[in-house]
């Protein structure tokens, strides 16, 4: 999709590239039956360990699900997690232990970002969780599905927060489920502010499959980044075995370096 050249030295990974992923876990719902989280969690843990991502932005994670992931990944990963409200769902960041973030936090995508709150018209409170690593800052979010207009407003608040939190020339990566396709107002706005993938026309870009084997369609999961980030090898992970699911979304990932 997009190619780049470059080099960066990262804490914990000298002279090597970073491997970034975004994964919507699908919240634990009993009505999912055999696709409910208790039946998928070991597959998800094994998938993460097999791929060896350096930093992962998860969406739709409850405290129980985060505990399950921590239990299975604790030898390799630490986590930053703040639930969005009393129901507990959040957007945790898992990162390899050697990376050691110097700063982290969570903001709400409303006019009062430091207070647990919900934007008018949004079905649920929406948040962004972030962490500053040695050479870049990472954000992870999950926008609402109420309407393109609601998502657009949340994305405007999100961009304002990113610009407030990150240093002016600091490399930035943003992962998330934006619940909108590329031709939406929301994604058009995001693409006007940051770089992303899906620039080439293709039919197999679907990222939300609803526990099916479909691959044709448009994405709603994205990775955005600033110009200092040089991306390599963007990937959508389709099922290894048809009918066996780790989530109702396909994970996405890319390798990155930074400009010298």
Predicted confidence at residue 203, as pLDDT, reads 84
Q: What domains are there in the chain, each with its CATH number? A: 19-258 (3.60.10.10)
Q: Residues 12-59: pLDDT tens digits?
A: 454 348 999 999 999 999 999 999 999 999 999 999 999 999 999 999
Residue 178, both tokens: 């934006």
Q: Residues 190-229: pLDDT tens digits?
A: 999 999 998 666 789 999 999 999 999 999 999 999 999 9
Q: Which residues contact 233 (CB under 8 A, 6 or more apart)?
A: 254, 255
Predicted confidence at residue 200, as pLDDT, reads 66
Average of pLDDT values for 76-87?
A: 94
Predicted confidence at residue 13, as pLDDT, reads 52
For the chain, the average pLDDT equals: 92
Half-sphere exposure of 114 (CA within 13 A, CB side): 2
Is 60 exceeded by the pLDDT of residue 102? yes
Predicted confidence at residue 229, as pLDDT, reads 96
CA angle 172-173-178, nearest 5°? 130
Is 70 exceeded by the pLDDT of residue 119? yes
pTM as predicted: 0.93
Q: 197 or 9, which is more confident?
A: 197
Is 50 exceeded by the pLDDT of residue 64? yes
């Amino acid at each position: 999709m997009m190619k780049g050249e470059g080099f960066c030295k990262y804490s914990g990974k000298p002279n090597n590239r970073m491997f970034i992923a975004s994964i919507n876990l699908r919240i634990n719902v009993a009505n999912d039956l055999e696709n409910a989280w208790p039946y998928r969690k070991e597959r998800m843990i094994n998938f993460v360990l097999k791929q060896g991502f350096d930093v992962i932005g998860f969406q739709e994670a409850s405290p129980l699900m985060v505990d399950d992931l921590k239990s299975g990944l604790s030898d390799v990963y630490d986590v930053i997690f703040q639930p969005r409200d009393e129901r507990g769902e959040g957007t945790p960041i898992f990162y390899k232990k050697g990376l050691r973030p110097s700063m982290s936090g969570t903001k709400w995508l409303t006019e009062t970002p430091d207070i647990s709150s919900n934007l008018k018209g949004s079905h649920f409170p929406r948040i962004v969780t972030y962490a500053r690593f040695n050479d870049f800052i990472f954000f992870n979010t999950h926008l609402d599905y109420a309407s393109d207009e609601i998502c657009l407003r949340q994305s405007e608040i999100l961009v304002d927060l990113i610009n407030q939190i990150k240093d002016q020339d600091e490399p930035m990566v943003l992962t998330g489920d934006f619940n909108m396709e590329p031709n939406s107002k929301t994604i058009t706005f995001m693409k006007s502010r940051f770089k992303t993938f899906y620039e080439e026309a293709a039919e197999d870009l679907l990222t939300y499959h609803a526990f099916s084997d479909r691959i044709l369609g448009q994405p709603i999961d994205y990775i955005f980044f600033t110009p200092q980030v040089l991306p390599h090898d963007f990937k959508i992970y389709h099922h290894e075995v048809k009918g066996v699911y780790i989530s109702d979304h396909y994970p996405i990932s890319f390798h990155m370096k930074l400009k010298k």
